[in-house]
Amino acid sequence: MIELLTANTPNGKKISIMLEEIKYEYKVTKINIKKEEQFDPKFRALSPFSKIPVIIDHENKTSLFESGAILMYLGEKSRKFYPEKNKHLINQWLMGQMAYVGPMLGQHHQFHHYNSGKSNWGEERYFKISKSIYKDLDERLEKSKFLARIKSLKQMQRKGKHDQVPPMPMDNKDFGIGAQILHDIGITRLKVISNSKQQRRIAITGYGISIEGYKSY
**Residue range 20-32: mean pLDDT, rounded:** 93
- Residue 173: the pLDDT is 54
Residues 153, 145: Cα–Cα separation, whole Å: 14
The DSSP 8-state label assigned to residue 54 in this structure reads E
Distances (CA, A) of 105 to 67, 136, 176: 16, 13, 23
Please state, in angstroms and rounded to a whole number, the distance separating the CA atoms of residues 57 and 80.
Answer: 17
24-33, 51-60, 82-91, 157-166: the lowest-pLDDT one:
157-166
Q: How far apart are CA 53 and CA 6, in angstroms?
A: 5
Residue 152's pLDDT is 74
Q: d(Cα 164, Cα 179) in Å, to the nearest integer?
A: 24
Closest CA to 66 of 11, 17, 29: 11
Global pTM? Answer: 0.67
How far from each other are the two terminal CA atoms of the chain, in whole angstroms? 34
Which whole-number Å values give the CA distances from 138 to 77, 100, 132, 146, 147, in the listed order? 30, 16, 10, 13, 11
Rounded Cα distance, 137 and 198, in Å: 37
* CATH architecture for residues 90-158: Up-down Bundle (1.20)
Calculate what percentage of the chain has a pLDDT beyond 90.
53
Q: Which of 63-67, 158-162, 186-190 has the lowest mean pLDDT?
A: 158-162
For Cα atoms 39, 44, 46, give the angle at the middle one, nearest 5 degrees: 145
**CA 207 to CA 27: how far, in whole Å?**
6
Average pLDDT over residues 119-140: 91
Q: How far is CA 191 from CA 86, 188, 209, 210, 214, in A?
A: 42, 11, 10, 9, 6
Mean pLDDT value of segment 74-92: 92
Q: Please report which confidence band the pLDDT of residue 93 belongs to, taking 50, 70 and 90 as the band edges.
A: very high
The whole-angstrom separation of Cα 37 and Cα 30 is 9
- Note the CATH number of domain 2-78: 3.40.30.10
Question: Residue 134: is its pLDDT beyond 70?
Answer: yes
pLDDT digits (tens, 9 = 90+) for 97-128: 999 999 999 999 899 888 999 999 999 999 99
Q: Tell me how far apart the alpha carbons of residues 79 and 52 are, in angstroms, rounded to a whole number.
A: 24
Read off the pLDDT band of 166 (50, 70, 90): low
The domain limits of the chain are: 2-78, 90-158, 170-215
Helix (H), strand (E) at residue 70: helix 67-78
pLDDT, greater one: 10 or 154: 10
Are the beta carbons of 25 and 204 closer than 8 angstroms?
no
Average pLDDT for the chain: 85
